[in-house]
Every structure is written in C-alpha cells, then in structure tokens.
Structure 1
Amino acid sequence: MSTEERLIAERADTLRLIASLSGDWDGVVEASAQTGVDDEHDPEGATIAYERARIEASLARARAHLADIDDALRRLTDGAYGTCESCGGPIGAERLAARPATRTCITCAST
C-alpha cells in the first residue's frame, strides 16, 4: 500500500470516528437536556459533564489528526512529504511508517 493510500484510508477511518463521536456528543447533550437532575452526585457512574468533556476531548484529538492527515496529503502533492518542518532534515522511514501524518523528525519531536 502506498503512502497516499495509507493516508487516504486513515483519513476515512478518522472521519468515521468523528461521525461516531459526534453522534455520542449529540446523545449526551440530548440526555442532559431531558433530565433535570443533579448528575454530579449520581452514584451509578460517570456524570454527564464528565462524558461531555471526554467526548469533546476525543473529538478535538480526532479533528487535529484529520488536519495532520490533510496536511500530509498536501505535502505529498507538493513534494515536501518526509521533510521535517522544524529542522528541514529528512524524517526517518520508520517514523513515517509508524506515523504517516507526522510533521517532524524524531529528534525535533523529542525537543
């Protein structure tokens, strides 16, 4: 599978994740609107506020990852893929295999 194919597949997976999390978000918002109870002291489990925060954080990570994938696809087209955005050096093949949307080499990512 080529790098472009991997990125396109990862993009599709990320879009599915965002859609799923958005559905979860809508469900939590709907549930909180339908209940007038204080869920902060519910001994049965997580609070609605906690669930909203968890889903919101997951959505933010997924959207950031989608932006990274789109940027990687742009870099592929521009011929800049595999070049570190920080130091301008090459990004190692192992790092690109593990994280195809990465923007930096392992050295710059560690600093």
Structure 2
Amino acid sequence: MAERSQGAALSPADQAIMRDLLGADRERTLERVASLTRDWDAIVQSAALVATDDEHDPEGSSTAFERAHVQSLLDQAQSHLADLDTAMERLNDGTYGVCERCGRPVAVERLKVRPAAKTCITCATARR
C-alpha cells in the first residue's frame, strides 16, 4: 500500500473500497433503524392498549425502561446514519480520509474498520 502525504486523497482503488464499505454500512444501519422503529411502535401500541400508570404499575417501570432503551438505540443508529452520509459527502468532495483535527491522513486500515471515522488514531486517542 502506498503511503499518502499530508492532505493527500485516497487512491482510486481505496476510494472504491471505501464507497462499498460505506454503502454496506449504510444499508445495515437503515435496516437497524427500520427494526428499531418497528420495536418502538410496538411498545407504544402495546402501552396504548392498556391504561398503564408507569409510576404505580409494577410492569410500568420495565415498559418505561424498554421504551427509553429502544429510543436510545434508535438515536444512536440515526446518528451513525448521519455520520455515514457525511463520510460519503467527504468521499465525494475529496476530504475523506483526512483528519478533521490535525489535517493528516487517516490510515486506510482505520477507515476500513470505522468507515465514518473523522479523525486519525492519534487524535481519536487524545480525545479520551
């Protein structure tokens, strides 16, 4: 694999690989959003069928937890979807694979594992 200089774009072969990885990750994420949305709708529909009082119903706390848990997972999936869309935009405009913090190249190996990565491993580690 040829090394990229600071700010250099990905090779055409790497761009094609990343486009495929981003597309596959996007499809999986869309399926996850759809599944979680169905779960959310089922929880809401189930709760609407009975007059529950979450505060006093022994099952209410688990229903509230389940609803909050699914909502959190749905929020995460939608956020990841937005990150993937942003990554695809960066791939199209030539800024994909360049760290948003330091401007150095993001390792292709990192991008293959985390296609929506915006930072190099050095900057990602420093944020912790």
Question: Shared fold (TM-score greater than 0.5)?
Answer: yes
1:70 aligns with 2:85: yes
**Counterpart-to-counterpart distance in 2, 1:98 and 1:10:** 11
Corresponding residue SS for 1:90? coil
Q: Secondary structure at the match of 1:47?
A: helix
RMSD: 1.8
Task: Report the equivalent of 2:98.
Answer: 83
- For residue 37 of structure 1, what is the aligned residue in structure 2? 52
Please tell me whether residue 24 in structure 1 is matched to residue 39 in structure 2.
yes
Query: Which amino acid letter does the alignment assign opposite residue 34 of structure 2?
Result: A
Counterparts of 1:3 and 1:107 in 2: how far apart (Å)? 21
1:58 to 73, 77, 85: 73
Q: CA deviation at 1:25?
A: 0.3
Percent of residue pairs bearing the same amino acid type: 46
TM-score (normalised: structure 2): 0.78
Q: Which blocks of at least 5 consecutive residues in structure 2 are unaligned? A: 1-15
Q: TM-score, normalised by structure 1?
A: 0.90
Secondary structure of 2:99's partner?
coil
1:17 and 1:82 mapped to 2: Cα distance? 26
